[in-house]
Amino acid sequence: MKRFFLTTIALAALVGPGTAADIAVKAAAPAYRPACAQFGGFYLGGHGGGTYYDHRFNDLDNVGYEGDTDIDNFGGFTNSNLGWHAGAQAGWNWQANCTVFGVQVDWSWSNAKTSSFHTDNDPVDNITMTSKVQWFGTARARTGIVVDNLLLYVSGGFAFANFKRGLVFNADGDIDAFSRSRTRYGLAAGAGTEWAINPNWSLVGEFMYLGFQKDESTFDCTPCNGVPNGPFRFRFVDSVWVSRIGLNYRWGGAPVAARY
């Protein structure tokens, strides 16, 4: 009986360490991580792309017709043109499993410009109207889902831009020229994709619409040559379509992880 008891203790001593090791291995098993790229954290990057600028104009006081130019087709019109833009962006993302929530601010220099030339039957009587988007930016919220290494997202928020207006009245060689720069505010909405090249770098492609508040500007000249003495008012309505690609560097990125 004593021999059996000692044998049992010896076997337990041999088996015990192996069992404890197995328990330790199981306890140290990797925690669950979603099988998608990680976009959480702060990021900074640059971008560039195309701009489609749509500009609407109204002569509220009918100055183009009442002045010496008497151009009756100047009362209201719409112009549009293509341009380019380039700038930088910064933001922060929070990720839960494969769902991403974040905020982003961006700023872009732009060369998008519209111009129109109006004349009457006398070729020396004419009016030239120009409007240029000098720069624009947005502050937006983003949300989307990650599929493997690709983030699909929608965004929306606030837009701001600086517009430079120019008016030149030419009546038989008498020229009145006006210009003004104003910053306008509006709303932004868009969608895009972001591809995680590696744990820190990602390539972005997005499309946005920016719509801005109406801009009523008053111009004055005393005395005037080709137009009546001011003040006289004009209304401008602006919208911008943006298509761009960009590159982000993200701090604290993590690669794709398999499910356990």
Q: Which residues contact 117 (CB under 8 A, 6 or more apart)?
A: 126, 127, 128
Given the candidates 3.90.550, 3.30.450, 2.40.160, 3.30.70, the CATH classification of the domain at 37-250 is 2.40.160
Query: pLDDT, tens digit, for every residue of 122-132?
Result: 666 778 889 99
Among 52-56, 58-62, 70-74, which is the least confidently predicted range? 70-74
Q: What whole-number percentage of the chain has pLDDT above 90?
A: 51
Asked if 221 contacts 236 with a C-beta cutoff of 8 angstroms, the reply is: no
Against a cut of 0.85, is the pTM above it? Answer: no
24 CB-side CA count, 13 A:
6
Q: How confident is the model at residue 231 (pLDDT cuts 50, 70, 90)?
A: confident
- Please tell me the predicted confidence (pLDDT) of residue 206: 97
Among 26-30, 55-59, 72-76, 101-105, which is the least confidently predicted range? 26-30
Task: Single out the residue of 48, 32, 46 nearest to residue 201, CA to CA.
Answer: 46
Among 61-65, 183-187, 198-202, which is the least confidently predicted range? 61-65
d(CA 160, CA 137): 5
Query: pLDDT, tens digit, for every residue of 141-163?
Result: 999 999 999 999 999 999 999 99
Question: For the residues of 22-36, what is the DSSP string, one character each?
Answer: HHHHHHTPPPP--SS
Residues in the chain, overall count: 260
What's the chain's average pLDDT?
81
- Please tell me the predicted confidence (pLDDT) of residue 5: 42
| Domain boundary assignment for the chain | 1-30, 37-250
Query: pLDDT, tens digit, for every residue of 1-18?
Result: 445 444 444 444 444 554
